[in-house]
Chain A
Amino acid sequence: MGPARAEGGGEPLFLDFFFLLRQAGLPVSTTEWLTFVEALAKGLVAADLHRFYALARATLVKNEKHYDLFDQAFTHYFVGTAPGLELKKALEEWLATPIDPPQLSPEALSMMERYGLDELRRMFEERLREQTERHDGGNKWVGTGGTSPFGHGGQNPAGVRVGGSGGGRSAVQIAARRRFRDYRTDLVLDVRQLGLALRKLRRLGRDGAPAEVDIDATIDHTARNAGDLEIAFRPPRHNKLKVLLLMDVGGSMDPFAHLVSRLFTAAHKATHFREFHAYYFHNCVYERVYEDARLSKGMLTVDLLRWLQPETRVIWVGDAHMAPYELTAEWGAIDYTHQNPNTGLEWLQRMARHFTHTAWLNPIERRFWRHPTIAMIGEVFPMHELTLEGLEEAVEALR
């Protein structure tokens, strides 16, 4: 398909920039796109590319974690087409002659939302081929791998070389500097982000001491009391959820120790749980769980099951990666001092039967989950990757 155009004025809408953003993984909606177009139509930016960049970012990007992707896409779209400056010229024309907001037909609007990722990718590749054919040396469009339009991780040498107005250069330099790389969430999970994800883990309910005036009940009681005032109280709303965090430590978990400790900090800091308990184990849970990561101070697992109610939400963190006998054999625990007449799997199944909501977070990537013990544990507990997305999934399942 050719470059998308508005039905009315025939002006380019930079619709392919919209698609580029979507394909790069930015959740830009048509509402936001139309806001952006409306702002352009109001003549807000004149012929200043730096302001154009700022305007586009303020209207299209709603989370700092996407700034870096946006910067890359912006650099790529408005600069990466060198030496053919056709797009840039179109942009300048656009900026120089503000027009009324273009009227998009309902078909065009639905088209923008309808395309799935694969289709967008296909359209882009077509578009990219088109560009290559038209401009010699325009192969920067295609990028290094050929599957992604992003070539060089934003260190696009053309980013600075392309001329244009002074304003244009600075916008491009700003975008190309990738100042917001650190805000990306797919790279590192920090305590705050984990805490944010955990915050959704709540179920509100009223209990405890009645400390709040209940207006409705007061009116009701007073009316029944023939107008003589009778004030009713009710308990304030609290999160009712209790959470148990069980963490695998040592051995194959060592590379993930930092990540697990961040999750622990985040969960510990989350003051909104009604109760929060954390215990450690090594590879698998048997008779005991431990209060410290050195596994010195233990507690009987049966006591834990007796003490915690079934509605306690359980979050397991572990790679579930061990020798199969540690899971399936009696006396199979990895520590010699740990004598287990019941198999690890039996203990896990017992826990699964006791608690109504459980999620297992695995720091190992999903594609390696075919390992026998990971598969076995995955059958006992729903397993999620220990990433922000995985944690959000788990939280959703635990609610």
Chain B
Amino acid sequence: MGRTVLENFTGTEDYIASVELQEAVNVALALERPLLIKGEPGTGKTLLAHAVAAQLGRELYTWHVKSTSRAQDGLYVYDAVQRLHDSRFGDRDVGDIRQYIRFGGLGRAFLADAPGVVLIDEVDKADLEFPNDLLHELDRMSFEVAETGDVHAAKHRPLVVITSNNEKELPDAFLRRCVFHFIAFPEPDLMASIVKVHHPAVRQTLVDEAIARFYWLRGLPDLRKAPSTSELIDWIGALEKGGVDLETITDRVPYLGALLKKEQDLESLQRHMHRYKGRR
């Protein structure tokens, strides 16, 4: 038995994937297991599914999970209220139940003629039991529409990418079935290239200084909310627009509101400022 890998994800031009992340995607593809992606906000969890779909030339089906989502919603929703409404006021044939069945992202991927990529975004938004229910649907790869009795089996197993913001702990049974990858916060050199994508025109010295200051801030011991990538990008934008010179960033932190959003964090920053100056 040789290598049976048919598809291989290596990252795209806009999406730089680490070897670990590539491998996680490829394992999920080969084993046909769901891929669970966690990581801080702004580390590209959602974009991964887009990048995989783009590189493999697959259709992407997205399903944004809400606090009220049920596992079945991803397969189909039976619009009983519409049908009830039509039965009284409408002119549609209410005897035809199929027109009230709407397929969700997962359901459409099952019915598709080619293997797709399903993005189940922010799985932790839903009820605690949601992931376990979902597991059942993912394992069977077929579902029955109870209202019509139609059974739909997946023609191709899609790659299911599930993202989580860590708002809730996910059940063990669910975790056991998933391939897992945690996207770590980018290290400074990767961060520099991310910033370049967003602010190609900003002076390199300013970017370097801002990034150094940013990682120093993130390293403060008692921050309640550490600034994230998107906040850094906004901040650099503000610095550029405001025409702030390098000296100012070294001495104080201008436009601090772009980075720190909590009062206590601003207070603790004041306590640490003299040390930053002393270090340089």
Q: List A residues at the B interface (Cβ < 8 Å).
A: 27, 29, 31-32, 35, 38-39, 41-46, 50-51, 53-55, 57-59, 61-64, 67, 98-100, 179-180, 183, 191-192, 196, 199-200, 213, 215, 218, 229, 258, 265
Please measure, in the bound complex, the distance between the C-alpha atom of A63 and the C-alpha atom of B39, giving whole angstroms: 10
A43-B3 contact, Cβ under 8 Å, with A58-B180, A62-B175, A196-B168:
yes
Is there an interface contact between B24 and A196, defined as CB atoms closer than 8 Å?
Answer: no
Please measure, in the bound complex, the distance between the C-alpha atom of A57 and the C-alpha atom of B175, giving whole angstroms: 13
B184 on the A face (CB < 8 A): yes
Which chain B residues border A59 with CB–CB below 8 Å?
27, 179-180
Determine how close the nearest CB of chain A comes to the CB of B96; give it in whole angstroms.
19
Please measure, in the bound complex, the distance between the C-alpha atom of A258 and the C-alpha atom of B88, giving whole angstroms: 62
Is there an interface contact between A44 and B30, defined as CB atoms closer than 8 Å?
Answer: yes
| Chain B residue with the shortest CB-CB distance to A100 | B1
Please measure, in the bound complex, the distance between the C-alpha atom of A179 and the C-alpha atom of B80, giving whole angstroms: 52
Is there an interface contact between B20 and A54, defined as CB atoms closer than 8 Å?
Answer: yes
Is there an interface contact between A98 and B88, defined as CB atoms closer than 8 Å?
Answer: no
Which chain A residues border B27 with CB–CB below 8 Å?
39, 44, 55, 58-59
Is there an interface contact between B31 and A62, defined as CB atoms closer than 8 Å?
Answer: no
Which chain A residues border B20 with CB–CB below 8 Å?
53-54, 57-58
Main secondary structure of the interface of A (DSSP, over half): helix
Is there an interface contact between A98 and B31, defined as CB atoms closer than 8 Å?
Answer: no
- Which of B5, B128, B178 is in CB contact (< 8 Å) with A43? B5
- Which of A42, A61, A200 is in CB contact (< 8 Å) with B31? A42
- Which of A31, A58, A64 is in CB contact (< 8 Å) with B177? A31
Is there an interface contact between A58 and B179, defined as CB atoms closer than 8 Å?
Answer: yes
28 contacts between A and B (CB under 8 A): A32-B176, A38-B31, A39-B27, A39-B31, A42-B5, A42-B30, A43-B1, A43-B2, A43-B3, A44-B3, A44-B5, A44-B27, A51-B23, A54-B22, A54-B23, A58-B28, A58-B179, A59-B179, A61-B180, A62-B36, A63-B180, A98-B2, A180-B182, A183-B182, A196-B167, A213-B81, A229-B87, A258-B222
13 additional contacts (CB under 8 A) given A38-B31, A41-B1, A44-B26: A32-B176, A39-B27, A39-B31, A44-B23, A50-B19, A53-B20, A58-B28, A59-B180, A64-B184, A98-B3, A100-B1, A183-B182, A196-B168
Which chain A residues border B4 with CB–CB below 8 Å?
42-43
Which chain A residues border B182 with CB–CB below 8 Å?
64, 67, 180, 183
- Which of A55, A61, A99, A199 is in CB contact (< 8 Å) with B1? A99
B33 on the A face (CB < 8 A): yes
Is there an interface contact between B1 and A179, defined as CB atoms closer than 8 Å?
Answer: no
| Chain A residue with the shortest CB-CB distance to B226 | A190
Please measure, in the bound complex, the distance between the C-alpha atom of A61 and the C-alpha atom of B175, giving whole angstroms: 9
Q: List B residues at the A interface (Cβ < 8 Å).
A: 1-5, 19-20, 22-24, 26-28, 30-31, 33, 36, 38, 80-81, 84, 87-88, 128, 166-169, 172, 175-182, 184, 222, 224
Determine how close the nearest CB of chain A comes to the CB of B235; give it in whole angstroms.
22
Please measure, in the bound complex, the distance between the C-alpha atom of A219 and the C-alpha atom of B22, giving whole angstroms: 51
Q: Specify which of B87, B166, B179 lies most central, judged by the most chain A CB atoms within 10 Å of its CB.
A: B179
Q: Count of A-B contacts with CB under 8 A?
A: 94
Determine how close the nearest CB of chain B comes to the CB of A29; give it in whole angstroms.
5
Please measure, in the bound complex, the distance between the C-alpha atom of A180 and the C-alpha atom of B187, giving whole angstroms: 12
Please measure, in the bound complex, the distance between the C-alpha atom of A296 and the C-alpha atom of B180, giving whole angstroms: 50
Please measure, in the bound complex, the distance between the C-alpha atom of A252 and the C-alpha atom of B162, giving whole angstroms: 46
Please measure, in the bound complex, the distance between the C-alpha atom of A54 and the C-alpha atom of B179, giving whole angstroms: 11
The 4 closest A-B pairs by CB, nearest first: A54-B23, A64-B182, A43-B3, A58-B24
Determine how close the nearest CB of chain A comes to the CB of B268; give it in whole angstroms.
11
Is there an interface contact between A229 and B88, defined as CB atoms closer than 8 Å?
Answer: yes
Determine how close the nearest CB of chain A comes to the CB of B48; give it in whole angstroms.
13
Is there an interface contact between A229 and B84, defined as CB atoms closer than 8 Å?
Answer: yes
Is there an interface contact between B36 and A54, defined as CB atoms closer than 8 Å?
Answer: no
Which chain A residues border B169 with CB–CB below 8 Å?
196, 200
Which chain B residues border A55 with CB–CB below 8 Å?
23, 27
Which chain A residues border B175 with CB–CB below 8 Å?
62-63
Is there an interface contact between A191 and B224, defined as CB atoms closer than 8 Å?
Answer: yes
| Chain A residue with the shortest CB-CB distance to B87 | A229
Please measure, in the bound complex, the distance between the C-alpha atom of A180 and the C-alpha atom of B184, giving whole angstroms: 8
Please measure, in the bound complex, the distance between the C-alpha atom of A55 and the C-alpha atom of B22, giving whole angstroms: 10
Q: Specify which of A58, A61, A63, A199 lies most central, judged by the most chain B CB atoms within 10 Å of its CB.
A: A58
Please measure, in the bound complex, the distance between the C-alpha atom of A64 and the C-alpha atom of B170, giving whole angstroms: 13
| Chain B residue with the shortest CB-CB distance to A27 | B172
Please measure, in the bound complex, the distance between the C-alpha atom of A106 and the C-alpha atom of B2, giving whole angstroms: 28
Determine how close the nearest CB of chain A comes to the CB of B141; give it in whole angstroms.
17
Which chain B residues border A258 with CB–CB below 8 Å?
222
Which chain B residues border A57 with CB–CB below 8 Å?
20
Please measure, in the bound complex, the distance between the C-alpha atom of A124 and the C-alpha atom of B67, giving whole angstroms: 46
Determine how close the nearest CB of chain A comes to the CB of B21; give it in whole angstroms.
8
Determine how close the nearest CB of chain B comes to the CB of A116; give it in whole angstroms.
19
Which chain A residues border B177 with CB–CB below 8 Å?
31
